[in-house]
Chain A
Amino acid sequence: MKTEAFEPKILAFCCHYCAYSSADLAGVMRIQYPPNVRIIRTPCTGRLETEYFMKALEQGADGVLVAGCLEGGCHFVEGNLCAKRRVNYTRDMLEEIGIERERLRMVNISAAMGRPLADTITDMVETIRKLGPSPMRNSGVQSPMSKVQSPKAELRTPNFQLPTSNSQLPATNR
């Protein structure tokens, strides 16, 4: 596979109370980030198990991003610290297997950090792009990720116009 044709597929587990909201904020602020991430909202990163990261990577995700609250700011007190330990454990296990540990990363993002979230995603995409496609692709395992089309490299540009008059709005918004 040619490197230039490779578009990483990254699974992002985002905490409902912070990173998921910061993705919303990034959207509201019209900040663009590469469309290579599929975001899964979780009630807390502490809900995530090692098994989730392993299955995601096994089924063909090129990278897994875990985005939790800032340390000390977890809605459930220490869920993000639990996640940090599990991510580190899983990264060690990936090395045992022979997979680059950089394919799994944890970041701490608050709900107000729309721009840092976009930067983090951009950085993660670049890291994975340099590493190349996951060796688990086409593993023969029925992969949900294989059904997802790779996005094109260009950033999506919003293709809509703001309503110019009240009559253009849906009735419920008037």
Chain B
Amino acid sequence: MIVAQRKNIPELLDIVEKHRKVLLLGCGTCVTVCLAGGQREVGIIASALRMAAKLKGRPLEVEELTIERQCDNVFLEQAAEAIKRNDAVLSVGCGAGVQAIAERYSNKPVYAGLNTAFIGILEERGVWTEKCAACGECVLHLYGGICPITRCAKKMMNGPCSGSREDRCEVSPDRPCAWQLIYARLKEIGQLDRLKELKKPKNWRSSLSGGTRKIIREDHRV
């Protein structure tokens, strides 16, 4: 899922500085699960914004609404009326949600209330970690299901480097060495021979550095 984090309240107040009526729009998908922009967080952030505005003597009305999915036009339709009756939208969805609204409502200012951080998983209660860099050409099958692109600080295709310290990464000792994990995992599943094979340099053309990516499925187009 996409993991995001709330911007702090003074920053959010600055973002909506020019407006008196703001729709705080939550998203019921990824950001609900990572406790950043679901219905509950919308209630909390809206209260916080109203209180902070009042303390500064600024008139600010904040309407609260959460839809199932901001990045989907079908669901976005449910917010149409609320978007129309407010001066601006403060979205607490991920970056895709914010842009979906901006594209659909061209004359309405839309702002991001969250910092979209990464694609990751819930490691334990209250802890999320990055697992996928969305590089566009998955190599997980070669490394026992552990991604060296995301989890190795040096993105090494043929690791480990010599900086591994007792299974810790030299870049940050609080992080495990991805290559140690890859070795242990391949050993566990009896595929250590995969490490004997020298991997060619990764083709980065499919990654974000080549610009915005697009996928077209002709069989699903209408």
Q: Spell out A's residues near B (CB within 8 Å).
A: 49-51, 54-55, 57-58, 93, 96-99, 135-136, 139, 141
Selected from B8, B43, B55, B56, the residue in CB contact (under 8 A) with A54 is: B43
Look across to chain B and name the residue whose beta carbon is closest to the beta carbon of A51: B43
Most buried by B among A50, A55, A97, A136: A97
B40 close to A97 (CB less than 8 A): no
B43 close to A55 (CB less than 8 A): yes
A98 close to B55 (CB less than 8 A): yes
CB contacts (< 8 Å) of B51 on chain A: these are 54, 57-58, 97, 99, 135-136
B47 at the interface (CB under 8 A from A): yes
B50 close to A58 (CB less than 8 A): yes
**Chain A nearest Cβ from B11, distance in angstroms:** 9
Known: A51-B43, A54-B43, A55-B43. A93 touches B48 (CB 8 A): yes
**9 interchain pairs (CB within 8 A)?**
A51-B43, A55-B47, A93-B48, A96-B9, A96-B10, A96-B48, A96-B52, A97-B55, A139-B54
Give complex CA distance A136, B52 in Å.
Answer: 10
Question: With contacts A57-B51, A58-B47 known, what are 5 further pairs, Cβ within 8 A?
Answer: A54-B43, A93-B48, A96-B10, A97-B9, A139-B50
Selected from A49, A58, A96, A135, the residue in CB contact (under 8 A) with B40 is: A49
Selected from A54, A99, A139, the residue in CB contact (under 8 A) with B44 is: A54
- B interface, over-half SS: helix
Scan B9-29; emit 1 where CB is below 8 A from any A CB, else 0. Answer: 110000000000000000000
- A interface, over-half SS: helix
CB contacts (< 8 Å) of B54 on chain A: these are 135-136, 139
Summed over the interface, the residue pairs from A and B with CB atoms below 8 Å come to a total of 45
Look across to chain B and name the residue whose beta carbon is closest to the beta carbon of A93: B48
Interface residues of B in 44-85 (CB under 8 A from A): 44, 47-48, 50-52, 54-56
Give complex CA distance A141, B50 in Å.
Answer: 10
Those 8 A-B pairs whose CB atoms lie nearest each other, nearest first: A54-B47, A96-B9, A58-B47, A97-B52, A51-B43, A98-B55, A97-B51, A51-B44
Give complex CA distance A55, B44 in Å.
Answer: 8
CB contacts (< 8 Å) of B48 on chain A: these are 54, 93, 96-97
B40 close to A51 (CB less than 8 A): yes
Most buried by B among A51, A57, A139: A51
CB contacts (< 8 Å) of A99 on chain B: these are 51, 55
Give complex CA distance A93, B45 in Å.
Answer: 10
CB contacts (< 8 Å) of A55 on chain B: these are 43, 47
Most buried by A among B40, B48, B51: B51
Look across to chain A and name the residue whose beta carbon is closest to the beta carbon of B40: A51
B9 close to A51 (CB less than 8 A): no
Give complex CA distance A50, B44 in Å.
Answer: 7
Give complex CA distance A54, B48 in Å.
Answer: 7
CB contacts (< 8 Å) of A51 on chain B: these are 40, 43-44, 47
**Chain B nearest Cβ from A97, distance in angstroms:** 5
Give complex CA distance A60, B70 in Å.
Answer: 33
